[in-house]
């Protein structure tokens, strides 16, 4: 067996808050929503395109936000991401503990921890 790539990452969300997921992931982070397969659509949740992978937000009846485990998004303009998050009421928490990497943590609308990062020196990519 050879693992080829990550196909998707799934985060949990509370039932009935799909529009809030669309607002944060679609409007604030700029991800494009993709349709769920009809057989899964009735379960709720929202799916987004994430480069050549996907981000799935799935409804969890016993939802608890992920406070330590997280998804890390590499972005092309971290300063713009900071402004967009702040404008939407999601305060970024800067972290400079990794040399050569600018990054911050932010909570989504449900309290899930996310990381957004950008290489300090674009040549280091």
Q: Could you tell me the mean pLDDT of each successive run of 10 residues in the chain, 125 residues long?
A: 96 97 98 96 95 96 96 96 97 95 97 96 57
Residue 53: its pLDDT value, please? 96
What's the whole-model pTM score?
0.91
- Based on the structure, what is the number of domains in the chain? 1
Tell me the CATH number at 56.
3.10.180.10
90: left (phi over 0), alpha (psi -120 to 50) or beta: beta
CB 98 within 8 A of CB 87: no
Amino acid 120: pLDDT = 85
**pLDDT value of position 122:** 56
Would you say residue 2 lies in a domain?
no
* DSSP at 31: P
Q: Count CB-CB contacts under 10 A for residue 103.
A: 22
Residue 1 lies in a domain: no
Residue 53 located in a structural domain: yes
Q: List, in order, residues 6 or more apart from 122 with CB less than 8 Å away.
A: none
| Domain of 21, in residue numbers | 8-124
């Amino acid at each position: 067996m050879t693992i080829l790539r990550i196909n998707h990452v799934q985060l949990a969300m509370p039932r009935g808050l799909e529009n809030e997921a669309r607002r944060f992931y679609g409007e604030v982070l700029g991800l494009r929503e993709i349709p769920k397969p009809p057989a899964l659509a009735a379960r709720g949740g929202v799916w987004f395109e994430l480069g050549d992978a996907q981000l799935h937000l799935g409804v969890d009846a016993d939802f608890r936000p992920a406070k330590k485990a997280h998804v890390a998004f590499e972005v092309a303009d971290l300063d713009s991401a900071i402004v967009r998050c702040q404008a939407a009421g999601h305060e970024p928490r800067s972290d400079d503990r990794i040399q050569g990497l600018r990054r911050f943590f932010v909570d989504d609308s449900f309290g899930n921890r996310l990381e957004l990062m950008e290489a300090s020196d674009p040549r280091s990519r």
